């Protein structure tokens, strides 16, 4: 089952059929048993013609977006390399193997775009990349109730200059994309689940990469448990789980690039760089 936020309200997809439901987005995302509630809301309803992707909005209301970092070996290596001149290298190595994960505040709804929207490069950055990440929807009690596709846009030159610049490298207008909708959870996604990215520039493939959840070093529920330690999220929250795909150091995003991130059970998040 999938849940979408659209111009015309909330839409549930089940077995290829779409149902409009009269519900408040934030009230839905705060439910501990979202699946059961949605089953009840669509019971007896007539499906309507398929969803138009142009109507989709980012699946976020009052929730905060947080992110985990250095959860894949590829990210550890890329971060150690980018920060070797600033002395940051060993931090990344240590956090990769530490029990406590790296968790950082990433975004709010106002800085987040949905599928079809425009992500941004910081005006004062010279090296920018997308980070394709499985993103968890967590209930107020800290349970994983759904999954979406996320793009943790990052300014690698700023992050590499000094690890203390991380919030500036990560949090700015248009730095986060989520969508296209939420896969309502019926349990964990299998480790074989693939995450894939394609970046097209002027119609030509400029970069592609893929990884699988089996490469994620941390258990998603354990990441959520750390986030909820002494932290309340009355509206629920989103938690990005880190990137396992990093383009080569010679690659930086440019205006007009088209970014497609696919996690098959959830869908494809598609954005253009402003």
131 versus 270: smaller Cβ distance to ligand DO4: 131
Q: Which does 79 bind (CB under 5 to 8 A by kind): Mg ion, ligand DO4, none?
A: ligand DO4
Distance from C-alpha of 186 to C-alpha of 31, rounded to nearest angstrom: 14
Burial 22-41 (b: 16+ CB within 10 A, else e): ebebeebbbbeebeebbeeb
Among 148, 151, 193, 243, binds Mg ion (CB under 5 A): 243
67 versus 227: smaller Cβ distance to ligand DO4: 67
Bridge-based pairing of strands 132-138 and 237-240 is antiparallel
Considering the rule CB under 5 A, would residue 71 count as an interface residue with Mg ion?
no
Q: Which residues are at the interface with ligand DO4 (CB under 6 A)?
A: 67, 69-70, 75, 79, 102, 131, 152, 166, 242-243
Q: Which does 102 bind (CB under 5 to 8 A by kind): ligand DO4, Mg ion, none?
A: ligand DO4
Task: Indicate the helix (H) or strand (E) that contains 106.
Answer: strand 102-107
Among 64, 82, 102, 152, binds Mg ion (CB under 5 A): 152
31 versus 212: smaller Cβ distance to ligand DO4: 212
Residue, CB closest to ligand DO4: 69
Q: Are 111 and 171 in contact (CB under 8 A)?
A: yes
5 versus 76: smaller Cβ distance to ligand DO4: 76
Here the tokens at position 109 are 């709804």
Q: Which does 260 bind (CB under 5 to 8 A by kind): ligand DO4, Mg ion, none?
A: none
Q: Cβ-count burial of 58 within 10 angstroms (0-12 exposed, 13-18 middle, 19+ buried)?
A: buried
* Beta-bridge partners for 132: 151
131 versus 198: smaller Cβ distance to ligand DO4: 131
Contact letters (x/-) for Mg ion, 110-149, by CB under 5 A? ---------------------x------------------
Distance from C-alpha of 194 to C-alpha of 198, rounded to nearest angstrom: 13
What is the DSSP secondary structure assignment for residue 25, as one 8-state letter?
A: H
Task: Indicate the helix (H) or strand (E) that contains 77.
Answer: helix 73-82
13 versus 152: smaller Cβ distance to ligand DO4: 152
User: Rule CB under 5 A: which residues touch Mg ion?
Assistant: 131, 152, 243
């Amino acid at each position: 089952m999938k849940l979408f936020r659209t111009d015309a309200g909330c839409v549930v997809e089940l077995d290829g059929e779409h149902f409009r439901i009269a519900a408040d987005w934030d009230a839905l995302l705060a439910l501990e048993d979202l699946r059961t509630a949605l089953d009840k809301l669509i019971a007896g309803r007539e499906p309507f013609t398929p969803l138009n992707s142009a109507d989709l909005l980012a699946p976020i209301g009052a929730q905060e977006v947080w992110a985990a970092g250095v959860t894949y070996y590829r990210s550890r290596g890329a971060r150690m390399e980018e920060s070797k001149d600033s002395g940051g290298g060993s931090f990344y190595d240590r956090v990769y193997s530490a029990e406590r994960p790296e968790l950082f505040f990433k975004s709010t709804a106002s800085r987040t775009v949905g599928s079809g929207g425009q992500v941004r490069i910081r005006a004062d950055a010279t090296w920018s990349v997308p980070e394709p990440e499985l993103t968890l929807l967590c209930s107020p009690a800290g349970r994983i109730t759904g999954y979406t596709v996320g793009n943790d846009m990052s300014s690698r030159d700023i992050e590499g200059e000094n690890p203390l610049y991380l919030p500036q490298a990560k949090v700015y207008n248009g730095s986060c994309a989520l969508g296209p909708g939420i896969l309502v959870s019926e349990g964990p996604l299998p480790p074989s689940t693939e995450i894939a990215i394609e970046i097209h520039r002027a119609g030509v493939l400029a970069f592609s990469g893929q990884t699988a959840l089996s490469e994620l070093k941390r258990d998603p529920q354990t990441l959520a448990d750390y986030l909820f330690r002494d932290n309340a999220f009355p509206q629920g929250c989103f938690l990005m789980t880190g990137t396992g795909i990093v383009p080569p150091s010679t690659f930086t995003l440019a205006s007009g690039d088209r970014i497609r991130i696919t996690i098959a059970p959830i869908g494809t998040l598609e954005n253009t760089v402003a």
